[in-house]
Structure 1
């Protein structure tokens, strides 16, 4: 009997590392609660439970199985309590919706019971610790996001040829200064030999003065236009170009909300200083919000800019303050809000929730 006991313990010790995946990366935005944790970067909720082996177990195998079952039940209970505290928006948490609607409560309970086992750990006293997790995207968001949320249809696809005609139009005024140079030379030279010789010295200085004038703007005008072209794709706002935004069409948005006291939520809003909504329900459809999540969260701006969610050319805007009762909404400057509206009119990154908030 002792041989089998030692063999079983050896198998358990070897098996533990196989069930120990990393729960979160160091740069992930993780919120720890009394009963579990919320990884706002991966949209995952985790909770642990510990089960002790019962004294009436017939053998070690039965004791371990019963301890695992008890730990799993406790972990699910802790997971449900953690999920209830998830902020939906600045005014409510998941528990508020569960109390108001039996349908939502039943659906959330069912989703939590279907949580997966992430890790098992067998302790020296014979008890078992189980870590369970669930994703908030998909069925969970579908259960808690109101049916009235979001646009009914996507905005029309932006025309990618819009910026192309603007550049040649800016270049066209360049040859205009050369036009006034040629007509005075032709008209005056024809009149000079026909009329009088004393009139020849008078028109001679006239063409000489305009000749250097077009020569001066010729090198200056293109230099000025090159300076104008660079800010135009970036829009004249406070968009941070030092991180990764290359100008042109933005592929995503990173909101730098560090130091504002922001708190993550499932449906955060971005508003201007007048309180006008720039991003969320008026821009995003309910389907995209459920499948993608309205926004991701991160702790580092550079890590957020390199995240696949915003692809390779995200715009970075600095938040001004946090708003709402739970401080989940982000206020940006009016100039930045106008710049963001212009960028979104030339791309669909907001409609498809390609947004990350750094807090």
Structure 2
């Protein structure tokens, strides 16, 4: 089985440069993929083995489409580093089987690959660093006067609905003149890998518990580089000034709504 899986990976790698890029959505925090084995297999055990192989191949294809940041995808990292390619292979081989069933179409196996945490996609592709997270900019970097507090706030929701935002493991928030409000430089390697510093939701009303019971909500003006929300200078200052009170950014209590 190990040799067969290695062959599947090698063939998938060869095809990587020949296929059009399609971004993979990680809103749910996992890659959940299904594989199918033909009913013509001699028995159920071999059918499920074939289905799992198919699921692992599909997982590799899905993983390639994940944005790390606005400039890099998992596919780019695999192509650039044999070490990362090996980590990805190991991660997929160790993926958890969450469902198995048989129907008229064949044998089915569903596997899940976590985006963050131990044995996750982030652990495989994010470069380890011992550097200290950079401090956040001052609110006055963006506006002359610090806005009066309207909090305290438990987190931040950036509403990006209708702007075509893609999900990423390490996005950033910018102002219209391309100044970084916050991003991966402001977080430790452990934070990024274990939990991430941004969650995603498809609704401003549901799936936003990460931002707590009283989140600050701002509307993005646009999206930069597919994955980075752009907020007004006033909203950037508001985010940073409110964060000074409760520290929600440092806790990663942030949700981007797609």
Superposition TM-score tier, normalisation by shorter sequence: 0.7 to 0.9
User: Which of 245, 248, 258 does residue 349 from structure 1 map onto?
Assistant: 248
Q: Secondary structure at the match of 1:302?
A: coil
**Is 1:74 aligned with 2:54?**
yes
**CA RMSD between the two structures:** 2.4
Aligned to 1:275: 178
Unaligned segments of structure 2, at least 5 residues: 1-19, 137-146
Aligned to 1:329: 228
Per the TM alignment, residue 279 of structure 1 is displaced from its structure 2 partner at its CA by 1.4
User: Which of 122, 125, 150 does residue 144 from structure 1 map onto?
Assistant: 125
Higher percent of residues as helix: 1
Runs of 4+ in structure 1 over 6 Å off: none
User: Which of 164, 180, 187 does residue 261 from structure 1 map onto?
Assistant: 164
Q: TM-score, normalised by structure 1?
A: 0.59
Per the TM alignment, residue 273 of structure 1 is displaced from its structure 2 partner at its CA by 1.7
User: Residue 154 of structure 1 contacts residue 351 of structure 1 at CA under 8 Å; is this kept in 2?
Assistant: no
Change (3 A) 1:304 1:123: closer
Q: Secondary structure at the match of 1:47?
A: strand
Distance 1:89 1:328 in 2: 7
Change (3 A) 1:349 1:340: same
User: Residue 66 of structure 2 contacts residue 73 of structure 2 at CA under 8 Å; is this kept in 1?
Assistant: yes
Per the TM alignment, residue 275 of structure 1 is displaced from its structure 2 partner at its CA by 1.1
**Map 1:108-127 → 2, pairs under 5 A:** 108-124=88-104, 127=106
Unaligned segments of structure 1, at least 5 residues: 1-33, 58-62, 157-230, 235-246
User: Residue 283 of structure 1 contacts residue 350 of structure 1 at CA under 8 Å; is this kept in 2?
Assistant: no
Per the TM alignment, residue 155 of structure 1 is displaced from its structure 2 partner at its CA by 5.9
User: Residue 23 of structure 2 contacts residue 166 of structure 2 at CA under 8 Å; is this kept in 1?
Assistant: no
Aligned to 1:26: none
- Superimposed CA distance per residue, residues 246-283 of structure 1 (whole angstroms, 9 cap, x where no aligned partner): x22x2111000112121111111101122111111232
Aligned length: 226
Q: Secondary structure at the match of 1:98?
A: helix
Q: Secondary structure at the match of 1:152?
A: coil
Per the TM alignment, residue 143 of structure 1 is displaced from its structure 2 partner at its CA by 2.0
